[in-house]
Amino acid sequence: MGKSLRAVIVTALSLVCQGAGAQESVEPNELSSKLFAQVAQNSSVDGSNVEAPRELPPLALDILMAFEGWSSDEQDFGFDFCTIGYGHLIARKPCAEVPDEVAQYDPPISLEEGLALLKQDTVKARLTVAKLVTSDISDEQFGALVSFAFNVGTGPRGFSGSKMLRLLNDEEFNMAAKEFPKWIKIKDKVNGTLVTRRSCELDLFLETLSAPFRPEDCITLGTAPAAKDLINIETGRPD
């Protein structure tokens, strides 16, 4: 990875993890704007101080890394979006069309650099969960909710408009937990990867998930949601 990009990522991660009082500043440029876009939208920035989001527990990071997937090189994902690392978005175009943007990352990147990007990418979800959930929640519950919000979105079609959030704020934690298995459809079809991801998030929320993390160990016992209650993660509704 290029020296300037590595410096920006390391500084960004340091600011995110340490919060106010960081001594090193980042010169404004196109790259730092990309890396700090989500932070700027959700925190107060006075030129040197950035609100520090709540840290994720290791098992939450394990879930995110496992289900976001990994590529040390740039790759086209989904609707020809160019990504790198753990699904970090480089551009909303195929990689072949954005060689200059790709070159800024100087692929291949290391796992450490990929993790720094992932932590930065989760800032919006972490700040959203911390702001919207008014009940006291454990680190494990927080991590499960961040993974969930990062996947389904933080807006009104996702976490912020969900029944889960309303139940959490009413301190109906057992009922809120039953919402995880509902969010498993894409384009009107149940998605096997989402089924496993929701099981892992639910196990973490219930604090029954243990290290070392293996997705195949995420088996949550209980009654499966009725088919009519299954939610499409693209619309936030049981389409």
- 91 & 176 share domain: no
How far are the Cα atoms of 70, 71, 75 from residue 97, in angstroms, in the given order?
Answer: 21, 19, 12
153: left (phi over 0), alpha (psi -120 to 50) or beta: left
- 167 & 133 share domain: yes
Q: What is the secondary structure of 15-74 as a DSSP string?
A: HHHH-TT--------HHHHHHHHHHHHHS--SSS--PPPPPPPHHHHHHHHHHH--EEEE
77-106 residue pLDDT tens: 876 899 999 999 999 999 999 999 999 999
For residue 11, is it within any domain?
Answer: no
pLDDT value of residue 162: 98
Instruction: Choose between 44 and 73: higher pLDDT.
Output: 73
**Confidence label for 239 from pLDDT (cuts 50, 70 and 90):** confident
pLDDT value of residue 188: 87
pLDDT value of residue 3: 43
Residue 189, domain CATH: 1.10.530.40
**Confidence label for 221 from pLDDT (cuts 50, 70 and 90):** low
Which residue segment(s) compose the domain that 171 sits in?
123-229
- 215 & 131 share domain: yes
pLDDT value of residue 16: 40
Domain count, the chain: 2
Task: Note the pTM of the prediction, 2 decimals.
Answer: 0.79
Closest CA to 121 of 90, 145, 162, 75: 90
